[in-house]
Amino acid sequence: MSESISSTLLTSALFLLMFSLLASFLIVTNNVTNEYEKVRFSDIANYIARNLVDITTLSYESSYNDMSLGIVLQIPTEVNNKGYSISIIMENGMYEVLVVSDTNSFVYGKAPLWATTGTQIQLSGTVTVSSLGTVYCRSKIYSGTRKLVVWANKQNGVIFAGIGTLNP
């Protein structure tokens, strides 16, 4: 085998090896980043779900037939310099808080709320919460939205709850 062919083959093999190493590094880095974001999205979903379940439980346990409760939540505007959306979904007969990356729908976090019997989720319209004012109910809220609210409203013993904002 001539020296130039041997040199060309070795150089090509070296480039292939470098490309393989670079591709492997990028794949591993992307997987680690996605896992980090999934953990953060799950933390946000759990925070929202925990507060929503807490105020719903307070409404349920209260002896009052008519009452309203709401909490303004503080959530990050970005996770790893990326936006996300928050919604309440029903999956397998359970309501869940779903937090999904705006750039990759496969990167998300979920937290369970409760079975569909009993408390009803209100996804649109407005509700008046005595301590906060008018809450605009939303089916989906995007990160960066100011004054995210979880609320529960008990009317004649029936509880409605959801997520919303104080600003339209």
Angle of CA points 148, 151, 154, to nearest 5° = 165
pTM of the model: 0.84
Number of Cβ within 10 Å of residue 21's Cβ equals: 10
Check residue 121 and give its pLDDT: 87
Strands (E), the chain: 67-73, 84-91, 94-101, 108-115, 120-121, 126-129, 133-137, 140-142, 148-155, 158-165
Check residue 115 and give its pLDDT: 64
- Rounded Cα distance between 93 and 2, Å, is 71
Residues of the chain with pLDDT under 50: none
Check residue 116 and give its pLDDT: 59
Check residue 144 and give its pLDDT: 85
Check residue 120 and give its pLDDT: 84
Check residue 1 and give its pLDDT: 57
Check residue 168 and give its pLDDT: 67
Check residue 117 and give its pLDDT: 67
